[in-house]
Structure 1
Amino acid sequence: MQFVEIGGIQYEVLPWKQRVVQSIVNPWRNVLLPASFWRYVMRRSRSPLIAESFRRPGGWQSMRIVYENETPKGIQDRMAVRFNPISMASRNRRKLVISLLTELINSNVETERLDIVGVGAGPGLHVQEAICKSDIRRANVHAYLIDRDSDAFEYGRTCAAERGIQECVSYVQGDARDIRRVLPDVSPQIVKLVGLLEYLTDDQAVDLLRALHAIMAPGGQILTHGIVDRFHSAKFLQRTFGLYHIYRTASEVKTVLNAAGFRTDKECEEPMKVYPILIATRL
């Protein structure tokens, strides 16, 4: 694995040899060999990530495996977890999101009550780690972690207890498009929307963002991102696992945010240049 340090954080980058391998393999994965062949090969892998990708592509368990980056179980697992550009970029995104969330929390460190909402949050580990890294008093911050599925909540609560911040987080099952009903008394200063926008059409994204805009505190900030198919993985993921993303550049995410009443204040990207990340303010 190869790294570059930016702002004191070690990010992964793709070695040039792996770039060459990608350029050779991509035509075979994306076009030349049938999807049935790749599904046959992948289903015989010992890789937990590949198995989970067939069961629930893009789900929180897949992301947990990617983030934990444990010792690979064979060459396919190594390629899927260690040297897959999407996996590498996802770990980079996680580090950058936690760093940016920590900054947002610290900018509200004097706030008597700081409310954070995580949408499509799964176990909510980005928010948990940001709270732990921040300077805010634990009694002054609370995170509401919303997801339509509750299967990640027990794992999230266990992680929060291990960090000693179980009193700072609440898990809420519900649809964020109906967020005022789901959280009737919360007006968050910070909203985190990570790992969800890439599954929504523009109209769906604007509807969700407008719902969040309506309940946020004046001047509240939202952190979200796009996704760019820089390494030409999209077709293979679609053909083999049925994993479909809606790809948006930073400019395209900015357009969606503007349509929902937000002003983009900050744009950045992780070094793999797969995930542009934006912070926007509620107008």
Structure 2
Amino acid sequence: MAGPSRTAIPQSTTAICLRYIYDPKPQSPKVPVLIRPPGPRPPSVKQDSKLSLSGDPPTKAIMRRRAQSLSSPAERKRVLRYQQVRFVDSLGLDLEEVKLFKDKEQPLIPQHVMFRLRMSSERAFGKSLELSLPHFKPCFPENMAAQADFLTRLRTQTVCLEQVVCSELGIAGTIQVLNLDYEKKVTVHYSFTNWRTSTDTSASWVSSVSQGEYDVFRFRLPVPPFILQPGALLEFAICYHVKGSNYWDNNNGRNYKLTCHSYKVTVPRECEDSMLHFT
């Protein structure tokens, strides 16, 4: 039995020439391609960021938010509309002070304000300026040592006020005591409030008199400026402490009293402008 017959299929063959590989022919020049220019770009938002010199790409704009504590322009305008003007003097103090008074309450005008008003009115009418200076005046003799019974009182009560001098700096005075011992202390008790409150000041030793039989002490009482008002009262008494005992001189139980008075001084013409400026 014969098998199936086979038909030969011709295979196409390609001839490769080695000369074309090792010696290729020059290629023909390429035809240039025409490039169409780009059309106009749509308008875009300008960016403020600029390229850095290093060629880094531009950074995006940073979105900043307004702090909540800052007021908006509209709010600032509204605040400025209600702002007030404040006037001050050379020391930064207010030129005016508003105070509400109750019915039947008399307003208290400061002393320096009344003084300036009085001076201005006197200058307007061509009058000479006068200053009203307050000072304390004793209600007892200033020189107690000149009294006839001074030595008698000194030997009786062991301590006695000798003299008082009043000035703008305060009140100064001297005291005499019997020299009973080397260790001794003299104190002046004084009050501006009718003894509701009081203050003590120590007197200092000055000298000995009558061959050491008596000692002299000096004291000074400071007077605050706000106390210098007409009618103010100063009282004082003297205590002498020696050998464990206290001896007093209180003007026979009446205390030594000084009252505040005022006296007028005429200001020279050449000093008027300076007085009005510095008051």
TM-score normalised to the size of structure 2? 0.23
Question: Which structure: greater helix fraction?
Answer: 1
TM-score (norm 1): 0.23
- Indicate the structure (1 or 2) with the bigger Cα radius of gyration: 2
